[in-house]
Amino acid sequence: MTPAQTATGDVPALRTATSLVVLAQSTYRTLQTNPAGGGATAVPVVRDLLAAAVVELGDARSALTSATTGAGGRAQTAPDPAYGSVVDAALPTVRTPADVVGLVLTLEDVLAQTLVADAAALSTPALRALALRLGSAAAARKATLLVVNSLLSAGRADLVVAPPDLASLPGGVGTVGFPDTRFPTAKAAPPEEGN
């Protein structure tokens, strides 16, 4: 592989990852305006998760944009088209906190898987480190969403509080946030998807 080929491959991957971040941040912001995400029927913990994710994804977007331009590419400002249509279809159906969590869980999962795939494939140590740092952050958000989703799906919104009543939490909550021994990458967006 020549350096020119390497640089050519990095930019589409970075732009695709950025497009997923753009979409996720936009979706979180939209959900903050939904009654079930940031309004009267919102679960406070979920509301806090949305707010924190918006900030983290903003930082991720800035870092990926810098990496893209540093690699000689143009900054990506558009959302991922493939998952954008998924979000467009899902947003009008969001009614409950469980709907909110389910939607962002899908986006965090594909974002994390894409960044993890990038972390093994990008051409420079600095880019790989960036991808893994951001991928791990997305994985952490995914884990928390899995925990919350398990409780909301079981009709136990009363247990989604901070701090939780540890004695009341089902034992399965202790492991539902990390279902895989090795983080999967089968759903990673192909590098050209958001380029």
Q: Which residues between 122 and 141 bind another protein (CB under 8 A)?
A: 122-123, 125-126, 128-129, 131-133, 135-141
- The minimum distance between CB 125 and another protein, in angstroms, equals 4
One of 106, 112, 152, 194 touching another protein (CB under 8 A): 112
3-state secondary structure of 120: helix
CB closer to another protein, 91 vs 136: 136
Binning the chain into helix, strand and coil, the percentages to the nearest 5 are 70, 0, 30
CB closer to another protein, 91 vs 185: 185
Cα(120)–Cα(69) distance, rounded to whole angstroms? 20
104: left (phi over 0), alpha (psi -120 to 50) or beta: alpha
Q: Which residues between 1 and 40 bind another protein (CB under 8 A)?
A: 1, 6, 9-10, 13
H or E element at residue 192: none
CB closer to another protein, 6 vs 85: 6
Cα(24)–Cα(158) distance, rounded to whole angstroms? 27
- CA dihedral for 115, 119, 121, 122, sign (positive or negative): positive
* Residues at the site binding another protein, with contacts judged by CB under 8 A: 1, 6, 9-10, 13, 45, 48-49, 52, 112, 116-117, 119-123, 125-126, 128-129, 131-133, 135-144, 147-148, 162-164, 166-167, 169-175, 177-178, 180-185, 188, 191
